[in-house]
Structure 1
Amino acid sequence: MLDVQQAARVKDGPTVRGSTAPRRIPVLPLGLGLGLSLLLSLWCGVGLGAAGVGRTEVLRFLWAGLTGGTVHARDAAAYTIVWEIRLPRVLLAAVVGAGLAAVGVAVQAMVRNALADPFVLGISSGAAVGANAVILLGAFAGLGVWALSASAFVSALAAMALVYAVARSAHGLTPLRLILAGTALAYGFEAVTTVMVFGAARGEAARSAMMWLLGSLGGATWEQVPLAAATVVSAWAWLWWRAEALNALAMGDETSAALGVQPSRLRRELFLVTAAATGSVVAVSGAIGFVGLMVPHVVRMLVGADHRRVLAVAPLAGAVLLVWADLLSRLLLAPAELPVGVITAVVGVPAFLLLMRRGGYAFGGR
């Protein structure tokens, strides 16, 4: 019987014209390089901004924050900027980028669609309804600083339950029904959000709603980082554990069944894990597009289609990408900010078109 790893190699890519062997970069050096790039990106993200802070001062403030040390009174403002504002923001950007990339890998395998991303299931559109209820209507004001994240996460879970109920059939969760149900309900959620935006008084609330809909990390706090990180790490660990089953599922339901994988059951588990992870990151960052769509394809182009290799690299690549996208969103129109989703789209659209034109890469494998 065909082995799961062999099945992944059958589908592997990219390939060079005139060659039958895929060209891959070893995962370990690539992962180490991305890890070092992430550390450098975090340092740049903390040090750069509308209010410049010297490189040595950044390290000194970080050390003081980690060890509980004290800083001079004249450095109190710079310390607050570094430790209380920028550091949780760049850490949350890394967590969100890693989560979107990992979930993008899983969703593309789950629905066997090269255009799938974490938002294809309608989860982000559902989260937008809850978030805008807080921003525009002042709902759940009693929750204080947690109102926005809690409302977005709860509405994301409600959207997940609705998509699941609509997509489920006697034959289980099929890729086509998932995509159709998620897309259709996403349009419905977006219509509700649009009515809320147009019905609200013009001004800062409407602008905040649009920032959230396009993705923003401007409201990042230390309280948001641990929960989002725990959710993303847990989802990634589960996906890593089920990587061989993902290899089989990507081959099709008949092939995966022949390899001993129950496609309907695995797809149901993937739906729950990816929806929970998507809801948690969308609740703290808004709807940031192109990360979950682009990063999995770029990583497959570099390391091949085996999900164990892809999941080892994709979260690091997503984290680096979103840290820099957030940094650019703060710098390009400083002191004003652009939505992060605008930056990822500006980067993602030409990159996606280049991938489409690349002769040696086929979306989803050979």
Structure 2
Amino acid sequence: MTAGLLAALAAAVLAALALGSVRIPPREVVAALLPGAEPSPFRTIVLDVRLPRVLLGLAVGAGLGVVGTVLQALVRNRLADPFLLGISSGASTGAVLVLVLGIGATTAVALPAGAFAGSLAAFLLVYGLARNGGGMTGTRLVLAGVTISYVFTALTTLVLVASSRPEHFREALYWSLGGLGSARWDTVWLPAVVVGLALPLLLALARPLDLLLVGEEGAIVLGLDVARFRAAVFVLVSLVTAVLVAASGAVGFIGLMVPHAARLLVGAAHRALLPVAALGGAVALVVADLAARTVAAPQDVPVGVLTALIGGPLFLWLMRRRSVDGTEGAPA
């Protein structure tokens, strides 16, 4: 299964480097990637324009796939993802505040720091609302997340309306729709490093994540400090999400649908599930971005628009299927 996904990923990367407003033969793409190749227009397009965008898509897609998988295990609800839980909206608000207020906006860490602060604030509110008035359930947390997502979206709009600079609206549109068009070599390294560090760390937590699938009481009996574990992993997930949103905007539905596809392929055990979710998310976002670049060429459609158009109907189908099967609220 992993070999098949790696082959699909290689094919997606090659297609993304070759296709676009300028079509480049595959052999020219390979030649451009070789060290010491002669300078040429094709080499410039591949190395300076398309390769950073593809690498950012790989990092963001893999990160969203992993984050969605972990969140669904933590809340034991397969409808959970960073977008539904308000983390992406909070990160967008934090990033837009940095842009509008000009708080170190020219540095490499300012946007991720602002996005992280916003995402953490959003999740703390969601977590508090979900626990208020009784035990926290997956359905309660998702509903609280949708509510907080609307609140932070409204805050973002309010900040932009209060701003006197029209360019802020164009920058904020990037965060709200999501896209990889601003990818540059200096914006790729941070999400790549964060995802590269988070994946092995979460793999090391595969057994506690599996224990959560048996239920909170069962996990406690088996020796897991559920409250402390959830809090620590939620902070880690918020950090990863913040960095991804700071790099690409709020790309929805990758973190929701990819974990479902991964479970169909390898089951629910997280040691096998997390790598497949990472590869699946990377393939999904690279292919979606390729479609976004070519479906209305030379117009570059924000990839978040395309993932929403595809993921929205799939999400509705999933909800209908769970309702018909009588599995609403079932654990992940």
TM-score (norm 1): 0.79
Which residue is 1:96 aligned to? 60
Amino acid at match of 2:92: A
Say which of 71, 75, 84 aligns to 2:38: 71
SS in 1 for 2:181: coil
- Cα distance in 1 for residues equivalent to 2:274 and 2:14: 25
- Corresponding position: 1:226 with 2:189: yes
1:39 positional shift: 1.1
1:44 positional shift: 0.9
- Corresponding position: 1:344 with 2:315: no
Amino acid at match of 1:94: L
- Corresponding position: 1:107 with 2:84: no
- Corresponding position: 1:268 with 2:231: yes
Amino acid at match of 2:237: T
Per-residue CA deviations over 1:20-51 (Å, capped at 9, x if unaligned) read xxxxxxxxxx1110011111111111111112
Amino acid at match of 1:112: R
- Cα distance in 1 for residues equivalent to 2:325 and 2:126: 36
Q: 1:235 to 1:142 in 2, by over 3 A?
A: closer
Tell me if structure 1 keeps the 8 A contact 2:76–2:331: no
- Cα distance in 2 for residues equivalent to 1:341 and 1:101: 15
1:182 positional shift: 4.0
- Structure 2 gap segments, 5+ residues each: none
- Cα distance in 2 for residues equivalent to 1:361 and 1:226: 44
SS in 1 for 2:182: coil
1:354 positional shift: 4.9
Say which of 298, 304, 307 aligns to 2:261: 298
1:237 positional shift: 1.3
Say which of 132, 141, 149 aligns to 1:186: 149
Tell me if structure 1 keeps the 8 A contact 2:262–2:276: yes
SS in 2 for 1:133: helix
Per-residue CA deviations over 1:174-212 (Å, capped at 9, x if unaligned) read 757754654443332211111234445696642442232
Tell me if structure 2 keeps the 8 A contact 1:305–1:365: no
Q: 1:144 to 1:249 in 2, by over 3 A?
A: closer
- Corresponding position: 1:213 with 2:183: no
Matched residue count: 329
Alignment of 1:311-330 (within 5 A): 311-330=274-293
Tell me if structure 2 keeps the 8 A contact 1:173–1:267: no
Tell me if structure 2 keeps the 8 A contact 1:100–1:278: yes
Which residue is 1:285 aligned to? 248
- Structure 1 gap segments, 5+ residues each: 1-29
Tell me if structure 1 keeps the 8 A contact 2:77–2:139: no
Which residue is 1:259 aligned to? 222
1:227 positional shift: 1.8
Per-residue CA deviations over 1:52-94 (Å, capped at 9, x if unaligned) read 2221211111113xxxx2524xx2x332221011101111101
- Cα distance in 2 for residues equivalent to 1:200 and 1:155: 19
- Cα distance in 2 for residues equivalent to 1:264 and 1:149: 27
Which residue is 1:12 aligned to? none
Which residue is 2:83 aligned to? 119
- Cα distance in 2 for residues equivalent to 1:264 and 1:101: 24
1:232 positional shift: 1.1
- Cα distance in 1 for residues equivalent to 2:197 and 2:15: 27
Please give the root-mean-square deviation of Cα atoms over the aligned residues, in Å.
3.1
SS in 2 for 1:223: helix
Per-residue CA deviations over 1:217-236 (Å, capped at 9, x if unaligned) read 11111122222112112222
1:249 positional shift: 0.7
Q: 1:250 to 1:199 in 2, by over 3 A?
A: same
Q: Which moved more, 1:275-284 or 1:229-238?
A: 229-238
Identity between Structure 1 and Structure 2 (%): 45
- Cα distance in 1 for residues equivalent to 2:190 and 2:54: 15
Per-residue CA deviations over 1:151-181 (Å, capped at 9, x if unaligned) read 4345434545665677788x99875775465
Alignment of 1:228-243 (within 5 A): 228-243=191-206
Tell me if structure 1 keeps the 8 A contact 2:179–2:248: yes
- Cα distance in 2 for residues equivalent to 1:253 and 1:329: 42
Amino acid at match of 1:99: G
Q: 1:294 to 1:221 in 2, by over 3 A?
A: same
- Cα distance in 2 for residues equivalent to 1:89 and 1:362: 39
